[in-house]
Structure 1
Amino acid sequence: MTRRGQLVLVAAVLVAVALVPILFASMQLGYHDDVRATADYDDPTADALRVLDRAVATESAPIPRQFAWAANESAVTHLRRALRPRVDRLRTSRVEGGVYYDVSYNDTAAGEWAAANCPTGPGRQFGSCHADRGVAVQNRVNRTHVLAVGFDVTTTTDRGETSVTVVLEATGRSKW
């Protein structure tokens, strides 16, 4: 065999070795005709949480300008009234598509979140923090600040029922 022939043979072996991982990867992907494509699948519970997350962020933003700490119960009532139309719309927003949402406030989850996450300690100028009817609020410079809202969300579809408890931060950057 000539030197050129040996070089061609070595190059062919290298290409074949390089293709082996691609072959194994394509074999692991597999195909099954009754599996839904991921782009085709939507998670109705995640959709509901996104709607609630945006609503909490939007409706809680003006609270500190409107309510002193002495009126924190009124601030919570105001926030819950502001959220009511969005929660009511969410409940029936996808009924035609076979999806129903049951949404309620969770005071226990909000209280646990407040106990674990309220900023406190030396150098902080923040006051007390507590949960009221599912809403975690804190005294900051004698103004009421909404920090988070706890919800129980049950999603009913033709595939079954999913229930989650979530605490959505007023920043709109919640991770669920």
Structure 2
Amino acid sequence: MIRRPDDRGQIVLVAAAVVAVALLAMTVAFAQLGYDGDRASASDVDVASLSTIDRSLTAAVRAAAQDATAGTDTIAWRDRRAVVTRIRASLSADVERIERVHAERGRSLSVAFDGAGAIRFARADCPAGPGRTFGPCRAIDGLVVQERAGRTTPIAAVVRVRIVSPTESSTAVFVVRVVS
């Protein structure tokens, strides 16, 4: 078999043509995979306002605390865990609503009670002082309650908020005071 020197050049040209056709097919397939309107860029997502989140959480916690303690005689100090359970149950719908609103804006927001933060708050910032004859503060599942005249009074909730979006990733801890 006798080979000519220009056969090699033809093989290289044929191989290049095959590669070019394959790349063209891959490019067309990739272009058809997505619709540009479905794509969200980082500039399409606004940055979460921590003050707005704080106001929403404050309103929700205060309303839940009022609902849990209004019109009931079962708020004795010995029933403090039941009060905390009612507050958390009342808050769950509001927390889900806050998380859903942020999901609609292209960010993930998760709200969780911070048990360790509540313990620190109960130890350091429990209302006390001259003219106040309040009992002890207790941190239960991220909420702080205090004994006042034998009754359970919600004082604060400590909440950890995690925000993730294309433009931000942050964690904030809010101490939501129910009473001063």
Partner of 1:134: 142
Q: Which has the larger radius of gyration?
A: 2
Unaligned runs of 5+ in 2: 1-45
Quick check: 1:166 aligned with 2:174?
Answer: yes
> Alpha-carbon deviation of 1:80?
0.2
Q: State the TM-score, normalizing by the size of structure 1.
A: 0.68
User: Which amino acid in the other structure matches residue 106 of structure 1?
Assistant: D
User: How big is each residue's C-alpha offset from its partner over 1:90-148, in whole Å with a ceiling of 9 and x where there is no partner?
Assistant: 11113232122111000111111111121235643211111000000000011110000
Unaligned runs of 5+ in 1: 1-40
> Alpha-carbon deviation of 1:42?
5.9
CA distance in 1 between counterparts of 2:131 and 2:49 reads 43
Partner of 2:161: 153
Identity %: 28
Does the C-alpha gap of structure 1 residues 120 and 51 become closer, same or farther in structure 2, counting only changes over 3 Å? Answer: same
> Alpha-carbon deviation of 1:46?
2.7
Partner of 1:98: 106
For the 8 Å contact 2:61–2:157, the answer to whether it is kept is: yes
Cα RMSD after superposing both structures:
2.1
CA distance in 1 between counterparts of 2:121 and 2:55 reads 19
Q: State the TM-score, normalizing by the size of structure 2.
A: 0.67
Question: Alignment partner for residue 85 of structure 2, among 77, 86, 95?
Answer: 77
Does the C-alpha gap of structure 1 residues 122 and 97 become closer, same or farther in structure 2, counting only changes over 3 Å? Answer: closer
User: Which amino acid in the other structure matches residue 77 of structure 1?
Assistant: T
Task: Kindly tell me the number of residue pairs found equivalent between the two proteins.
Answer: 133
For the 8 Å contact 1:44–1:99, the answer to whether it is kept is: no
Partner of 1:53: 58
